[in-house]
Amino acid sequence: MDAPAIPLGFGPAAQRDLRGRVLRDLRISVVDRCNFRCPYCMPEDQYPRDHEFLSKAERLRFEEIERLTRIFATLGVHKLRLTGGEPLLRRDLPELVRKLAAVPGIDDVALTTNGSLLAPQAQALREAGLQRITLSLDTIVPETFRRMSGGRGEVGVVLEAIAAAERAGFAPLKLNVVVMRGTNDDEVLGLLERFRGSGHIVRFIEYMDVGTCNDWRRDLVVPSAELRARIAARWPLRELEPNYGGEVARRYAFADGGGEIGFISSVTEPFCGDCSRARLSADGRLYTCLFAGSGHDLRGPLRAGIGDAELAGLIRAVWSAREDRYSELRSEATSASREHVEMYAIGG
Ligand code: SAM
Ligand code: SF4
Ligand code: SF4
């Protein structure tokens, strides 16, 4: 492989988009398949068992992901998040983690997973250099969990995965809860009761209009302000400072010392202003927004033998032309475009 043409010794060049936002984070979807069928992401009726996902040849190989990561790192990326589909469906994921954690300039490698396949791999992921895990857990009520995984998941398996991740040294974990009105919003306090005091950070995500197949309706969104008020009525909260600029979650602490929670409010409190995230799909497309209609193909040039300097130039050109602020525009739009990439393709 060619050495990157950008001199590493001077540190990564900050890439700014048209709104002055730097490129700092890369979310890598390693596979578009999933063993769950969450109604807000990949509803069962839209993705029957014979749905055609990417073939092995269409997916980026580990070496290709590593090469792209090296180039992204020269452009300022220092945080990676592996996601999917369900990333642990990709065989030998620890091997990929090991390669990516060794890339100069990358100082944080995280994983988002539904937890169903995590327990047996948690230790290997830790040893490979994975630093943080976010687990999706919408409810601890077994029947609701089953429904919200499209009849595929068991909450007990995810709770066991949490214990395995703790044993492997990943605590504190982040626990993502997508809240849908009438489905799991009444179970939020029970979930908090369970995790208050555990050190894990529960984060409530507003149900978003990602993709085209989840029949999103605004009345199914529970605004974070409403949820926060419900929680605060039981356990008073105080707001915390962000950990860093561009953090997507607003952080709160239980006033009684019960720990931290967060709210990701893309619908009611958009945070496009300092969005520093690029997304790479499993087939090597670069997306500059979660709600983008299309991505920029990097796999084609990669497999056609493009050099590192040209590849870096290509990525730089895409980022410099970036204007995305979908969430901010959503509220203004009378009829939002439905030409969005699917969530399972780029991983949230
Ligand atoms: N399969 C893994 C998982 O569920 O953790 C990783 C991929 S999943 C697409 C990443 C995150 O996106 C999950 O936490 C999931 O709950 C969230 N997500 C998916 N669809 C969503 C939607 N319509 N609104 C809000 N969050 C969503
Ligand atoms: Fe699968 Fe994650 Fe989407 Fe649920 S949210 S269907 S677990 S990719
Ligand atoms: Fe970033 Fe797009 Fe989300 Fe805005 S809508 S925060 S630009 S990913």
User: Domain boundaries in the chain?
Assistant: 25-346
pLDDT single digits (tens) 86-107? 999 999 999 999 999 999 999 9
- Contacts of 102 by beta carbon, 8 Å cutoff, 6+ apart: 129
86 CB within 6 A, ligand 1: yes
pLDDT band at 332 (very low <50, low <70, confident <90, very high): low
Exposed, middle or buried: residue 305 (CB in 10 Å: 0-12, 13-18, 19+)?
A: exposed
**CA nearest to 197, candidates 135, 252, 251, 259:** 259
Nearest CA to ligand 1 atom 5: 113
pLDDT band at 348 (very low <50, low <70, confident <90, very high): confident
Cα(158) to ligand 2 centroid in Å equals: 13
213 CB within 6 A, ligand 1: no
* Residues 256-271, mean pLDDT to the nearest whole number: 95
- Ligand 2 atom closest to Cα of residue 112: 2
Cα(207) to ligand 1 centroid in Å equals: 9
324 CB within 6 A, ligand 3: yes
Mean pLDDT of the chain: 92
Q: Rounded to 10 degrees, what is the CA torsion of 348, 216, 51, 63?
A: -10
Cα(33) to ligand 2 centroid in Å equals: 9
The amino acid present at 193, given as its one-letter code, is E
* Residues 44-58, mean pLDDT to the nearest whole number: 86
229: its two tokens:
């008020």
Unique residue bearing structure tokens 């578009």: 32
The amino acid present at 185, given as its one-letter code, is D
Q: Which ligand is nearest to the CA of 247?
A: 3
pLDDT for 12: 61
Domain 25-346: which topology?
TIM Barrel (3.20.20)
Which residues, judged by CB distance below 6 Å to any ligand atom, belong to the binding site of ligand 2? 34, 36-38, 41-42, 84-86, 114, 136, 343-344
What's the whole-model pTM score? 0.93
* Residues 23-28, mean pLDDT to the nearest whole number: 97
